[in-house]
């Protein structure tokens, strides 16, 4: 039974169920990631620094160079 937009109730339900299933998977993955950070902390590693390293590694080279350049400019501007 389509609604005014032409989307059937069954199709909508299918989308909702897929999203819900992925949200559950995302929660499980987030818990796994937290566990890994906790394990790393227990060995003396700094999880805050690890998060920064991961963020930097996800950047492409030009984006990382631009960010590093801006950080240096800002630090120079404030006298550090």
pLDDT value at residue 46: 98
Domain map of the chain by residue range? 9-77
Q: Indicate if the pLDDT at residue 68 is higher than 90.
A: yes
Is-contact 43 37, C-beta < 8 A? no
Structure pTM? 0.71
CB atoms < 10 A from the CB of 40, how many?
A: 13
- Dihedral of the CA atoms 14, 18, 23, 28 (nearest 10)? 140
Alpha carbon separation from 50 to 14, 28, 73 (Å, rounded): 38, 20, 24
pLDDT value at residue 2: 58
**Nearest residue to 71 (alpha-carbon basis) of 51, 50, 57, 63:** 63
pLDDT tens track for 16-28:
999 999 999 999 9
């Amino acid at each position: 039974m389509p609604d005014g937009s032409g989307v059937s109730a069954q199709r909508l339900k299918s989308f909702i169920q897929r999203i819900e299933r992925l949200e559950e998977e995302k929660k499980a993955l987030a818990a796994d990631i937290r566990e890994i950070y906790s394990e790393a902390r227990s060995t003396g590693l700094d999880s805050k620094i690890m998060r920064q390293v991961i963020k930097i590694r996800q950047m492409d080279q030009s984006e990382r160079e631009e960010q590093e350049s801006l950080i240096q400019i800002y630090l120079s501007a404030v006298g550090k």
